[in-house]
Amino acid sequence: MHRLGEVVRTAQGLAIVRCSDDDHPDVGTQAVDEQLTTVGRVVDVFGPVARPYVAVSPDEGIALPTLLGKKLYAR
């Protein structure tokens, strides 16, 4: 498992995660929270190369506001 980063905001139905470093997951990778509950999938990687952002499309039943400030991980 690899740390994605922290959810910094929500936009257009996506959770925007600021990566911890330049190592980011591939599009389609599962995103899980600290309890290993699947919260969604990576749909885009964008921003600066040194510390990119990752857009995560939430799974059904996941409320985006509850993800703000949480750390997410790639499975």
67 located within any domain? no
pLDDT value of position 29: 95
7 located within any domain? yes
CA distances (Å), origin 31, targets 4, 17, 59, 60, 63: 8, 10, 10, 13, 14
pLDDT value of position 32: 96
Q: Please give the residue range of the domain that contains residue 31.
A: 2-60
CB 25 within 8 A of CB 17: no
**CATH assignment of the domain containing 36:** 2.40.10.230
47 located within any domain? yes
pLDDT value of position 23: 82
How long a stretch of residues is the chain?
A: 75
pLDDT value of position 21: 82
What phi and psi values does residue 39 have, to the nearest 5 degrees? -110, -15
Instruction: Look up the pTM and report it.
Output: 0.91
17 located within any domain? yes
CB 56 within 8 A of CB 15: yes
* Number of separate domains in the chain: 1
68 located within any domain? no
Residues in the chain where the model's pLDDT stays below 50: none
